[in-house]
Structure 1
Amino acid sequence: MSVKVNNQNTRALEDIQNQLDSTLRKLQSHMRETKAGVNDIARDVHQLVIQSNKSERRMDDVHRELDMVQPTQEGGDYRRLIQSLDKLKALMAKMPYENRILRRLRFESILRREEAIKDPVANTYAWMLHTSASTMRDPSAIGLASLTVTGTQSSEQDLRIETCAKLRSFLREDGQTFFISGRAGCGKSALMKFLGHNSVVREDLETWADGSRLVIVGMYFWGSDDPLQKSLKGFYMSIPYHTLKQCPEPISVIFPGSDSEGLSSDAAEFQISELESAFVRLTKLENNETYRFCYFIDGLDEYDGDPLEHRKLAEELVAWADSEAVKVVCSARLYTVFLDVFSRAGITINFHQLTRSDIREFAESQFIAYLGSPELREAKRTCLDITEDIVYRADGVFLWASLVVRSLINGGNTKTANVFARGYKIVRMI
């Protein structure tokens, strides 16, 4: 069986390799009788690190050589060498099992939803992470756990500042859940992807982690034809997969077992009961001071369950986030069950009430970019004139606004009067 060294194990192997090289240099003067054996071991280890497709038989050869090496004289450096090699041997022995578990957790569409979400345009959402220095210095001055706004531009700006301060404080300090609610199509998924991959978010979380190893995971429910993208089973596969891919050390704790217990086949499918038990073990990991976890879980409303099952999942997330080592940022439509559970646990925001300026900036940037030629000057002027109507009638729903903007741009570019008029009429009449 091929030995595959994943990125996480590579880092550990490199650390041990560096220690090994340093120790070997110190041993040269007084370890003549074992020099040849140690050099052979080091060479084999190096080959295993840089050639992940070497056979398992080659790894067994290294194991046998390690077993043959015994101390022949006293020496702290030599003992440390043996300890390092023992650690390396144990690590390499676990890798086939760890990789097998990860392969069994992964499913074909596990990244499909995230990859389908488009990145934000025209600097939208940047306000979520940038606000005035005075507000950031005293985020506790904002006392509201649930943030709402009536819809005027001035109140939206004030609430954006409050929301940013709340989010940054949540990321940097201890906190349970941050719930983003909003109407369908208002841009929640794009926001979740933006936050999950943002460097400012990572820096804030590193402050919270305070030296512990930070693990950031994104998971996206999606009401597609693939049951695993909208089911609890898919959730129980995705969360451990994305978590353990970054920190494989707890795999043997979360998925205890051996090849003799049926884990030798990559094709063997986990049963829902096995996955649920593994998820419980993940949420109760001991020695949490080693890690800090932040989960971005999008589309809870697209989980294919009834209201009672929605409530159970929400309560599980809240209970999990009660750990000092876990934060959960999640999003869903305005379902009563989610609002009830998360408003009692942490911060909630109504995102569709915060997007008017983003929609305005998006529409204007698109009109300027795609109607910029001289012959389309009149079309651009007309579209810019009705931008405020688009913002008002969209009422926070980004998807509706983007469809109208696209229709207007297509009508303007094709110089087809009826297409352009239809888009214009949509804005004026709805």
Structure 2
Amino acid sequence: MARALKHHSSVESSLENNVRAILKHVSSAAVNSSGKRWQEDLRYDMVQMIYSSQKTVSDLGGDNDTIILSPETCDKLQNTVISTLRYAGMEDRTNNITATYEKTFQWALQREQSDMQKWDNLPYCLENSSQMYWITGKAGSGKSTLMKFPPGDASSVQVMDARIITPSRWEAVTILGAHRQMQTWSEADLKSSLLLAVRSLTQAGIYVSFFIDGLDEFSGRPKELISLVCELLEIDVRVKVFVASRPWVDLQDAFQSQPSLKLEDLTYKDVKDYDTGRFAGYAAFSNLRRCNLAFANQLVGNIVSKASGVCLWVKLVIDSLLAGISYGDRIEDLQRRLDFLPSDLETLYDRMLKDWILSIMCMQLK
């Protein structure tokens, strides 16, 4: 009883101090500010107080620190929260991912499982009890393109129409109407809010799937990212996580027991179809092919073999060969050009950059 009275007295004192601070602010702001500016300042300062306070409704003896929001308020708050998560260039990565070439990657979503199949069945993992799937492969092997493929192929999307918000700081922002003054998200805030949101969704019976591309490209230590993935998976069996990355040692150690596929081992047919299709759509190559069918077919086969499943390498090399055709190269010239190009993607980029710099220097000398 004594502890309760002491706690009540402490809360009362805190409230009194806050009221005094508010009245002092109002009296000074009303004198020094014009129009409604002082009201905005007051709102902001009140939100700041609530942000910095460790007290919640539960501290006052209540057993529920939630409030029910109207649909209009919820929509407004939702848009405000989303706007704080946006940043410049947010959509660049997704928009820059090349769309799948005609009928490529269809094998990944085939439900029939053959004994010779070299990968764990992706549709089965999407639809059944497996919580995680790891897509790994070399740089440029098409991981991002494949990661964009399953969400775009989904036949339906479940949307939760939630109207209850529990964190007390959202209550403060909503009650005061100070949406524009929300603080910048810290990493800890982002993580705790993500885990809370996922937990709330799964408790409502919603299945949540994450498609995380380029796990090896994020800043920070790999073990922290792996830990976050594991925390998501531990929330509920309704959570599924699909990640794509190069086969870094830390990631291999963490995910090697999970269902997976190694992309460059599985894209031979896709690369061949892309190779054949690009050349077939170029009239000048068709003319060369009619004159030397065997050599032309051999060239296409050599490209596929040298690519080692790296789709981006194939695109860059075919662009180079088609440019050669436009300059009058023969099939033999194209083969020599192919032999000259390095099979490693990074070395190929380096060679192309040097050639580009050299061409600019030559143009300047003319």
Confirm or deny a common fold (TM above 0.5). Answer: yes
Q: How does 1:12-411 map to 2 (within 5 A)?
A: 90-130=70-110, 132=112, 135=113, 158-159=116-117, 162-163=119-120, 166-198=121-153, 202-203=154-155, 214-215=157-158, 247=160, 249=162, 252-253=165-166, 256-259=170-173, 263-265=178-180, 268-285=183-200, 288-305=203-220, 309-322=221-234, 323-344=236-257, 346-371=258-283, 375-377=287-289, 381=293, 382-411=295-324
Provide runs of 4+ in structure 1 moved above 6 Å: 427-430
Structure 2 spans left out of the alignment, 5+ residues: 1-67, 345-366
- Provide the rounded CA distance (Å) in 2 between the counterparts of 1:398 and 1:380: 26
- Provide the rounded CA distance (Å) in 1 between the counterparts of 2:200 and 2:323: 54
- Provide the rounded CA distance (Å) in 2 between the counterparts of 1:251 and 1:343: 39
- Provide the rounded CA distance (Å) in 2 between the counterparts of 1:374 and 1:340: 48
- Provide the rounded CA distance (Å) in 2 between the counterparts of 1:405 and 1:394: 11
- Displacement of 1:250: 6.6
- Provide the rounded CA distance (Å) in 2 between the counterparts of 1:348 and 1:429: 25
Change (3 A) 1:384 1:325: same
- The AA in structure 1 aligned to 2:216 is D
RMSD, aligned α-carbons: 3.2
Segment drifting more, 359-368 vs 416-425: 416-425
Q: Deviations over 1:189-231 (max 9, x none)?
A: 0110112211xxx24xx6xxxxxxx45xxxxxxxxxxxxxxxx
Q: What secondary structure, in the 3-state scheme, does the structure 1 residue paired with 2:89 have?
A: coil
Identity %: 22
- Provide the rounded CA distance (Å) in 2 between the counterparts of 1:379 and 1:253: 73
Change (3 A) 1:401 1:366: same
- Displacement of 1:292: 1.1
Q: Deviations over 1:352-373 (max 9, x none)?
A: 1111121111111111112467
Q: What secondary structure, in the 3-state scheme, does the structure 2 residue paired with 1:265 have?
A: helix
- Displacement of 1:318: 2.6
- Provide the rounded CA distance (Å) in 1 between the counterparts of 2:161 and 2:93: 24
Aligned length: 272
CA contact (8 A) 1:185 1:400 kept: yes
Change (3 A) 1:373 1:393: closer
Q: Deviations over 1:119-150 (max 9, x none)?
A: 11131101111254xx38xxxxx7xxxxxxxx
CA contact (8 A) 2:70 2:163 kept: no
- Provide the rounded CA distance (Å) in 1 between the counterparts of 2:240 and 2:343: 44
- Displacement of 1:273: 2.9
